């Protein structure tokens, strides 16, 4: 029988070797292993927790390995991290070392003695003792990155955004597993009895407990898991101006389709034409599956968004530009992303973001509105892109976005970032979503 630890190790291997994301591969692995709900929870905690705390765990393991941890076989490193997560972060008793040594015998027989020795060393100190030891090493700046298990460059960017006094709260929020939020799509579903409404989105709620599949509407696709920040991003475009029958809307970078579904729920009853565009065919298929269960009439386009806009000058009244970005706003849900991105990735992404937003403005009708959205708070990907675009598009103006979003979410506070909105996990309990509305004036 496959155990939770085996599933976690299998998925961790896929994350490392195939660039997989835990949220995509872990559910399938759990189903294939026929894990009980309790064991599924254990496998989930192990997988996500180890990705969140990988940097800190590596700092501990470096104290236990002769030489450098980087010289240890990658598969053995995966096992050591998972085991150390249980021992250090979850403070499990030392006897669980035997469970991981058994895993080593199955997969890395020659390394069994090595694994046993390292994990015995890890288990010789409590989590609090390890933290005190690590805190006494290095500079204050490097220790913040180590103790909160974030790459140094991300910590530096966060300090620039929220300041020294607040940055630890933001880093801590990224390591705190989020409570799953769902949306009952407007006009086609209702928040179920017994569910707790979310604080911001009028259509959001948290699970009343039990299996998500058992919630009314989940199987039909009219209720689905969606972060509250993503809900608000789509709702803000809808609320930017009165909805008029016959408008044309465009979701320029639609995959995997969560925001498209929100737009479609408003578009269908108002006889609005909605085009959902996605460059990658497999992601376009995800968009199709996202909306097929509850609405007809959405056009799925598979092409470069810049080319689509060039072929449709002035054709759309509202455009959502949910631009490709570093994704650093979703680190609490996709913790593996923090170890895959680097500062070197940002310039190419910024070039693409500028091109997509510029193209969208060209495809926008006069008095039409674009919502520029990123799941990243980084200045280079957010306010800098908007400022660059406005300096080159005299036909466009930034709309003060916070009042628009506050009409949707009256309890929203501390979210204005100039004319934009910036959500944060530690302030708003959402992904760090950036939203800027822009109007074409002539």
User: 200 in a domain, yes or no?
Assistant: no
Alpha carbon distance 257, 185 (integer Å)? 13
Closest to 143 (Cα-Cα) out of 155, 126, 127: 155
Tally of residues, the chain: 442
According to the model, what pLDDT value does residue 332 have?
Answer: 95
Residues 305 and 379 in one domain: yes
Residue pLDDT, tens place only, 227-260:
999 999 999 999 999 999 999 999 999 999 999 9
Residues 160 and 269 in one domain: no
User: 220 in a domain, yes or no?
Assistant: no
User: 265 in a domain, yes or no?
Assistant: yes
Alpha carbon distance 245, 394 (integer Å)? 29
Residues 144 and 9 in one domain: no
Helix 4-18 with 74-84: angle, nearest 10 deg: 130
Residues 128 and 246 in one domain: no
Give the total number of structural domains in the chain: 3
According to the model, what pLDDT value does residue 174 have?
Answer: 97
Residues 131 and 144 in one domain: no
Alpha carbon distance 37, 142 (integer Å)? 39
Residue-range definition of the domain harbouring residue 160: 140-176
According to the model, what pLDDT value does residue 89 have?
Answer: 97
According to the model, what pLDDT value does residue 252 have?
Answer: 98
List, for the chain, all residue ranges whose pLDDT scores fall below the cut of 70: 139, 208-210
Residues 28 and 149 in one domain: no
Residues 128 and 151 in one domain: no
User: 246 in a domain, yes or no?
Assistant: yes
According to the model, what pLDDT value does residue 155 have?
Answer: 97
Which of these three, 120, 139, 158, is where a domain ends? 139
Residue 375 annotated to the active site: yes
Which of these three, 139, 162, 187, is where a domain ends? 139
According to the model, what pLDDT value does residue 76 have?
Answer: 97
Q: What's the CA dihedral at 25, 103, 33, 26 to 10 degrees?
A: -20
Catalytic choice (253, 309, 325, 375): 375
Residues 364 and 248 in one domain: yes
User: 341 in a domain, yes or no?
Assistant: yes
pTM of the model: 0.94
CATH number for the domain that contains residue 291: 3.40.50.150
CATH number for the domain that contains residue 20: 1.10.940.10
Rg (CA), the chain: 23
Residues 121 and 158 in one domain: no
Q: Please report how many Cα atoms fall inside a 13 Å half-sphere around the Cα of residue 52, on the Cβ side.
A: 24
User: 257 in a domain, yes or no?
Assistant: yes
According to the model, what pLDDT value does residue 210 have?
Answer: 67
Residue pLDDT, tens place only, 31-69:
999 999 999 999 999 999 999 999 999 999 999 999 889
User: 310 in a domain, yes or no?
Assistant: yes
Residues 313 and 431 in one domain: yes
Residue pLDDT, tens place only, 271-299:
999 999 999 999 999 999 999 877 888 99
Main-chain phi, psi angles of 366, to 5 degrees = -65, 135
Alpha carbon distance 61, 53 (integer Å)? 12
Residues 429 and 306 in one domain: yes
Residues 235 and 347 in one domain: yes
User: 252 in a domain, yes or no?
Assistant: yes
According to the model, what pLDDT value does residue 215 have?
Answer: 83
DSSP H helices in 163-250: 164-174, 228-238
């Amino acid at each position: 029988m496959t155990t939770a630890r085996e599933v976690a190790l299998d998925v961790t291997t896929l994350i490392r070797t195939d660039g997989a994301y835990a949220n995509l591969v872990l559910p399938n692995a759990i189903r294939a292993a026929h894990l009980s709900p309790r064991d599924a929870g254990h496998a989930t905690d192990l997988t996500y927790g180890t990705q969140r705390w990988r940097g800190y765990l590596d700092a501990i393991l470096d104290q236990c390995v002769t030489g450098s941890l980087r010289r240890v076989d990658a598969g053995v490193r995966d096992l050591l991290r998972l085991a150390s997560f249980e021992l250090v972060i979850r403070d499990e008793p030392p006897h669980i070392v035997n469970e991981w040594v058994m895993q080593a015998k199955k997969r890395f027989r020659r390394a069994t003695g090595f694994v046993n020795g390292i994990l015995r060393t890890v288990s010789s100190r409590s989590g609090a003792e390890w933290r005190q030891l690590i805190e006494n090493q290095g500079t204050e700046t490097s220790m913040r990155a180590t103790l909160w298990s974030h790459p140094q460059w991300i910590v530096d960017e966060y300090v620039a955004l929220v300041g020294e006094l607040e940055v630890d709260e933001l880093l801590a929020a990224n390591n705190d597993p989020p409570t799953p939020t769902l949306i009952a799509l407007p006009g086609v579903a209702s928040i179920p009895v017994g569910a707790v409404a979310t604080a911001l989105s009028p259509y959001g709620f948290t699970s009343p407990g039990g299996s998500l599949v058992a919630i009314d509407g989940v199987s039909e696709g009219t209720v689905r898991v969606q972060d509250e920040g993503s809900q608000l991003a789509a709702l803000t475009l809808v609320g930017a101006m009165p909805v008029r029958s016959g408008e044309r809307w465009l979701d320029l970078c639609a995959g995997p389709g969560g925001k498209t579904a929100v737009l479609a729920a408003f578009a269908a009853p108002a006889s609005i034409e909605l085009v959902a565009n996605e460059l990658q065919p497999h992601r376009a298929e995800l968009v199709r599956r996202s909306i097929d269960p509850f609405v007809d009439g959405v056009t799925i386009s598979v092409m470069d968004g810049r080319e689509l806009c060039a072929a449709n000058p002035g054709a759309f009244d509202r455009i959502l530009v949910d631009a490709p970005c570093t994704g650093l706003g979703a680190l609490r849900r996709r913790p593996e992303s923090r170890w895959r991105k680097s500062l070197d990735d940002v310039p190419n992404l910024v070039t693409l973001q500028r091109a997509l937003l510029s193209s969208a403005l060209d495809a926008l009708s006069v008095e039409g509105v674009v919502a520029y959205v990123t799941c990243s708070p980084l200045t280079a990907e957010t306010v800098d892109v908007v400022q660059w675009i406005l300096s080159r598009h005299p036909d466009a103006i930034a709309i003060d976005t916070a009042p628009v979003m506050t009409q949707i979410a009256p309890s929203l506070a501390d979210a204005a970032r100039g004319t934009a909105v910036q959500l944060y996990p530690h302030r708003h309990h959402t992904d760090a979503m950036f939203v800027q509305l822009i109007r074409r004036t002539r």
